[in-house]
Amino acid sequence: MTKPPSPPSLTELRQEIDGIDAQVHQLLMQRGDIIDRLISVKQTQEVGSAFRPAREADMMRRLVQRHHGILPLDTVESIWRVIIATFTYVQAPFAVHVDQSLGESAMRDSARFHFGFTVPYVPHFSASAAVEAVARSKGDLALVSATSGSNPWWLALEAAGAPKIIARLPFIERADHPAALPVFVVSRVADSAMVTEVETWSIRVSGWNAEIARAISPLAEVVAVPDTAFDGAALLVSISAPGGLDNIKAALIAAGASVRSSGLVGSHARRYTVPPSGKAPT
């Protein structure tokens, strides 16, 4: 009778782990070498922003789809976000300007989870101040709340050449996300690098009230703040359906509002929702 092989010793298992750690480190250094060559080809240090929202969204989707095992998805997501942010920073240094008006700890958690500690963190007392700082920079980005606000900071994004919304974080959506605060990322990127699955529009209306808000809430995600210029509201509207802007305007008018102006202020990837089981949808 053949005797079954004895299980590996702790020493052997730890040696396997050490070998894997060395391989991971070596691969990260190889990635750095490729980025170094990429800098020479693209000359990103001279032209500013190296953000590629469409590519990042594709990378994160593939990450979730291939992940399995006991390693928490939170850990893998954070590691990859920091890798992406750090190597982007190496290509073209940038700072993260953070709106802390809704609370310092949650915004700091979001910034550190998605961008790590290498990228400089610059706090601001308002969303408008963070966006203004980005507008003055060559390639910085801002993090601002995606759910509420006390002033229509997005109006500054309407002008040609102004920074735009390029992403919404967290991209991988789940109930127990460690950096769950919804935030928009504002920066300047090349048009070819943008992802346009969800468009973000600035819409100014008069005659705004709770009934009108309820009428359009099924059609899009809406952030609304008072707009004294039109005796109504300034809206930040996230639209993912084709022809959605026309539908929103029609719904506003049907509910009794007057649409005064509208302008595209950015776009971002559709969020990737992970079910409660933690397994990626097939």
Q: What is the pLDDT of residues 109-158, one digit of tens each?
A: 999 999 999 999 999 999 999 999 999 998 899 999 988 677 899 999 99
Distance (Å, whole) CA 171 – CA 73: 13
Mean pLDDT across the chain, nearest whole number? 89
Of 3-7, 158-162, 212-216, minimum mean pLDDT range:
3-7
Residue 279 lies in a domain: no
Same domain, 123 and 255: no
Same domain, 148 and 119: yes
Of 94-98, 104-108, 121-125, 203-207, minimum mean pLDDT range:
104-108
Mind listing the pLDDT tens digit for each residue in 163-217? 999 999 999 888 888 999 999 999 998 888 899 999 999 999 999 999 999 999 9
User: In the prediction, which pLDDT does 1 show?
Assistant: 60
Same domain, 87 and 178: yes
Distance (Å, whole) CA 13 – CA 17: 6
Q: Which two tokens stand for residue 26?
A: 């070596």
Of 47-51, 59-63, 114-118, 210-214, minimum mean pLDDT range:
47-51
- The CATH number of residue 261's host domain is 3.30.70.2860
Nearest by Cα to 197 from 144, 88, 272: 272
User: In the prediction, which pLDDT does 246 show?
Assistant: 93
Count CB atoms within 10 A of the CB of residue 84. 19
Q: What is the span of the domain harbouring residue 218?
A: 199-267
User: In the prediction, which pLDDT does 282 show?
Assistant: 43
